[in-house]
Amino acid sequence: MSVIAGDALARGLRNTFAHTYKQTFDGMSAELGKWISLGVPSDKIQELFGYFESAPHPSRRGYGDPVKEKGFRARNYTVDNVSWDLSITWQQHQRLFDQLRDLEAQAHMGGQNFARLPERVFFQYLAESTNVDLLASLPNAPDGAAIFSTTDGASADRFGVSGGNLLTGSGITTAVKIRDDYHDAIAQFLQFQDTEGQPMVDPSDIQGAGVTVIYAPEHLQIFKESFIQARTVDGSNTPSNVLLDAGDKITLVASPYISGDDWFVLQNAPQVPLLVQTDAMSLTETVQTVDNSDIARTTKKEGVFWQAIQGYGLNLPLGAIKVNN
């Protein structure tokens, strides 16, 4: 489908509001580096990543006893590189007689929208949603489970703790319930274990860098009351907000990509990135004009085309918890 520019050809048309759909949606793009390892170079249709599980910890050895020998194993996972493309075309006369004088500039916004792709994929993973324009399916993490799960692929407690990184919430009807679930999530992070049964998350990482709480915009008020309001009603009492009193570092994000009552707690300094983005071919732009295209010369159809070959994979989701309501 080509650009439909008929309404822009009307004589005397003013371009005062031609910028209406030119606002740049930054969203969380500037923050994604916390959770996505962006632009990892790739030269294969499928990249293979791996890591070793935890090294053994020392234990007491009695005099005369043999040394306790322990090993560890390796894990790996794949990331498929796929093609991301966009084509925008228009008839030559539409460009020549465009009274908004903005057709080409608006078309080139399509290329700028590639910058939003990592964020869209990030939230596809977070919401575990189906989107025919993004990833066809969401691969499991290297431990064999989905991004949020109570157990790993072997049906053991994920990260060595009951509930894994998928907690049952108390609902979002009151600020007290939300704060209780928030504290449960932080406590859950601190109970995560490595593959040797030792603590995995350094409390100072959470205390120092803080966390980001992501929720649906429809719940803006109750989340502000939960995390920002200095005093909240609890029965006949109006106690001070324990989160503010404790100085917890919390960033609130009401994301338009999220809907429903579920919400998420993400570490701002996770031990490993949540996702990895491979880059086999960075974004390229090709312009179709009568100077370089037989199609443009014979049909007067001009256009601009973009393509990139990149992949997205799920790492071990140690830094993310879903509060499931």
- Using an 8 Å Cβ cutoff, are 275 and 225 in contact? no
DSSP letter for 230, please: S
Tally of CA atoms within 13 A in the half-sphere of 70 that contains its CB: 11
Percent of the chain residues topping a pLDDT of 90? 51
Query: Is pLDDT above 70 for 235?
Result: no
> How many DSSP H helices and E strands does the chain contain?
8, 10
Read off the amino acid at residue 88. I
pLDDT at 291: 86
pLDDT at 237: 64
pLDDT at 245: 75
3-state secondary structure 154-191: CCCEHHHCCCCCEEECCCCCCHHHHHHHHHHHHHHHHH
Q: Which uninterrupted H or E stretch holds 220?
A: helix 220-227
- Round to whole Å and give the CA distance between 179 and 193: 24
Distance, CA of 249 to chain centre: 20
pLDDT at 27: 52
- Round to whole Å and give the CA distance between 212 and 253: 7
Both structure tokens of 242: 């324990």
| Residue 80 φ then ψ, to 5° | -90, 130
pLDDT tens-digit map of 257-307: 999 999 999 999 998 899 999 999 998 888 888 888 888 788 888 888 889
- Using an 8 Å Cβ cutoff, are 118 and 135 in contact? no
Q: Which uninterrupted H or E stretch holds 46?
A: strand 46-52
Domains of the chain: 6-10+18-55+74-324 (3.90.1690)
- Tell me the pTM: 0.84
**Residues recorded for the chain:** 325
